[in-house]
Structure 1
Amino acid sequence: MTKLPAVILAGGRATRMGGGDKGLRQVGGKPLLDHVIDRLRPQVGAIALNANGDPARFAAYGLPVIADSLPDWPGPLAGVLAGLDWAASQGHEAIITAAADTPFFPTDLVAELQANAGPSGLCLAATREGDKIWRQPTFGLWPVALRDDLRTALKDGLRKIVLWTDQHNAGLAFFDTHPVDPFFNVNTPEDIEEAARQMEDL
C-alpha cells in the first residue's frame, strides 16, 4: 500500500518567539524540524514543507518548499490548501499534515487518522481531558477532493480550521496524553526549555 504524502506546516510568523522560523530553533541538540521529520518519515511517503519567504533557508533538508497560494497570512488552512494543491499535482488523493513546532506527536499518527476518517475522508487528531475534547487541527488527514471547497472558504474569509472541518463531518483520532502531551507545541523561548526537559523524560 502506497504511503500518503505529508506536509509540514511551517508557514507561521512565530511572533511569540520573536519572529523567524520556529522549526529551525534548537531543541535537545537539533532543530525542531528535525524532530518532526524523524517522527513523520517512517509513517508517510513524500514530505513537503509549507513555508513562506525564501525557500533557500530549508535547502539542507532537500524537501519541496511550497508557499501559501493566498496573500496576507490567512493561517494554517492556507498551508493545508497549498499542500493539497501540491499533492494534486503529484497525483495523490490525500495528505497528512503536521506542525513544525510539535516534536512529540504520535508515532501512530497516520494509522489512527486513516482508521478514524469521517465520511468525507477528513480526520483531525484530538486529545481528551475528562469531558473536554481538544482538537489538534494542524494534525490531520485531508482529501484532495475538498481542495476547491477549501479555497472558496478561505477566499470568503474563513480562518478557523474546525469551522470548515465540522462542515465536512471530519472524524477524530484520539491520542493519549501520557507520559507527555503528544501535541505540546513550542511557541515561546520558555517552551523550548520545557520541550528539552520532556525529551529527557521520554
Structure 2
Amino acid sequence: MKFVLTSCFALGLGLASAQAPSERDAQVAQVIQAATSRQEAQNDVWFKGGDFPRIKQNLRFMVEMDTTNYESASSLGWMLKSTEQPGEEWAVYVRFYKDNTDEPDGAMLLSQFLFDKRQYAAIPLIMEPRLKFGARMHANNYRNLGHSYVRMGMWRDALRVWEAAVAAHPEDAALKLQVVRTKERLGG
C-alpha cells in the first residue's frame, strides 16, 4: 500500500514538473483521485476483514491529504463513533468545518453531530451564516437548522429557515410539509 501511494505521488510530481500549470494541475488531480480511489477500495477490504484500526489510520491519512474531502471526513467520523471515540469524532468534524468555511456543506458533519448530541443552541451559530449558499447547500443542512429551532421553541426562526429551504429546494416535499406544520404551530 505504501509503495502504491509513494509511486502515485512520485508519478504525479514527475508529470507536474514537465508540463504547463493547467495541464500539470489536472494530472496531479487525476493521480490524487486514483490514489484516493485505491485507498477507499482498500478500506472496504479491511472493513470486511474487521481491521478497524487500519481503516482509521488510513482515513486519518486521507483527511490529512485532502481536508476538503467530505467522504473521507464523514467516514472517519463514523468509524470513530462506531468504535466509541466521541472526542476524536468531534475533532474531525470541527476541523472539517474550520477547513471548509467556503464550502456549502462544510458545516453539515458538525451540525449533525451537535444535533445528535442535542446541542441545539450551537447549531444556529454555525449554520445561519451558511444560508447564503442557497440551493448549493444540501437540504439536510436546512433540516438540522430548522429542527434545532423547533426543538428550542423558536418557531418564527424555524419558519424562516423552512421557507428558505423550500426556496432553495422546491422539489423537496418534506421541507414543504415543515412550512405547513410550522405555520399551523404559529396559528396560521
Structure having the larger proportion of residues in helix:
2
Whether these two folds match at TM > 0.5 is no
Higher relative contact order (CA 8 A, sep 6+): 1
Structure having the larger proportion of residues in strand:
1
TM-score, with length taken from structure 2 = 0.27
TM-score, with length taken from structure 1 = 0.25
